[in-house]
Amino acid sequence: MRPMSLFITFEGPEGSGKSTQARMLVEWLESLGYDVVATREPGGTRIGEAVRRIILSVEHSEMNPRTEALLFSAARAQLVFQVIKPALEEGKIVVSDRYADSTMAYQGYGHQLEIEDLKAITRFATGGLVPDITFYLDLPVEEGLARKARDSVNGGEKLNRLDLAAVEYHKKVRNGYLKLVEENGRWHVLDARKPPHTIQEEIRKVVRKSLEGRPGPEVKR
Ligand code: TYD
C-alpha cells in the first residue's frame, strides 16, 4: 500500500446513522482534495450487489447462517480485490459502510458461529486486509429498534414475537461488537445518540490526526 492510503470502515447496528456519517466523512475528505472511494457491504461491485440481493431477499428465509457467512465473505472478496486494494495501491482513501467486522458481530456473536473459523474465512476472502480505522456507532438495542419502529407504518406499537426474537439476536450482536472493540486500537466507539454533527466532528478529529504527517493535500481546519 502507498503511504498516503487509508482504509476507514463504519460499523454499527441498523438505525445507528453510520451510512450518513460515512457519507459526511467522504464529502469532507473530498472537499479537502483527497481522492476517496466510498463503498458499502454487502455490495459495492456488480457481483457483490447480486450476492446482496440473494442474502437480503425475504424469499430466502431458510438461509443457514453458514451460507450467510460464506456469501457475505464471497461478496467481500470481490470488493477487496476489484475495488479496495486497487484504490489503496493508488494511494486513495477508502471509506466502507461495513466490512469484515460485521461478519464477526452478526454471524459470529449473533448466530454463534465459531469466531476462529470466521477469522480464517475472512483472511482468505480479504487476503488479510484489515482497516486502519474503524468507527463503531454504538446504540442500545431497544433504541435502535425504536428508531426503526418510528420510521415504520406501525410506529410506536408494542414489539411482537418476532421483534422480541430480534431483540435477543441484536443484543448478542451489540455485545459482540463491544468485545471486538476491546481487541485492538483501530476501533473508535461513538455514541450514536448524540447529534449527527457532533458525531461527525469526533470522526473528523480522528481522521485528521491520522492524516497528519502523511503526504497528500494540506488538511484545512
Ligand atoms: P443493509 O440494508 O445494508 O443495512 P445497514 O444499513 O444496517 O448496513 O443490510 C445489511 C445487513 O446485513 C445488516 O443487517 C447487517 C448484515 N450483515 C451481516 O450480517 N454480516 C455481514 O458480514 C455484513 C457485511 C452485513
Residue 151 belongs to a domain with what CATH number?
A: 3.40.50.300
Q: What is the pLDDT of residue 156?
A: 55
How much is the pLDDT for 160? Answer: 65
- For residue 205, being part of any structural domain is answered with yes
Instruction: Answer positive or negative: Cα dihedral of 46, 52, 58, 63.
Output: positive
pLDDT at 153: 55
CA distance linking residue 181 with residue 135, whole number of Å: 10
Ligand 1 centroid, distance to 6 Cα (angstroms): 23
| 220 inside domain | no
Distance 197 CA to ligand 1 centre (A): 24
Domains identified in the chain, total number: 1
Domain-located, residue 218: no
Report, as ranges of residue numbers, the positions in the chain whose pLDDT lies below 70.
Answer: 1-3, 151-163, 218-221
Distance separating alpha carbons of residues 77 and 81, to the nearest angstrom: 6
- pTM of the predicted protein model: 0.92
Query: Domain range for residue 76?
Result: 6-211
Give nearest CA residue, ligand 1 atom 14: 14
Q: Is residue 74 part of a domain?
A: yes
Assigned domain for 70 exists: yes
Partner residues linked to 10 by β-bridges: 97, 135
Question: What number does the ligand 1 atom closest to the CA of 100 have?
Answer: 22
Residue 151, in any domain of the structure:
yes
pLDDT at 221 (0 to 100): 44
Asked, for residue 81, whether it belongs to a domain, the answer is: yes
Instruction: Determine the Cα angle at 66 with ends 14 and 124, to 5°.
Output: 90
Cell numbers 464529502 label which residue? 27
Residue-level pLDDT at 215: 74
Question: What was the pLDDT predicted at 213?
Answer: 76
Residue 150 lies in a domain: yes
Which residues does ligand 1 sit against, CB inside 6 Å?
A: 14, 19, 41-42, 72, 98, 102-103, 106-107
Calculate the average pLDDT of the chain: 91
**Rg (alpha carbons) of the chain, rounded to whole number:** 18
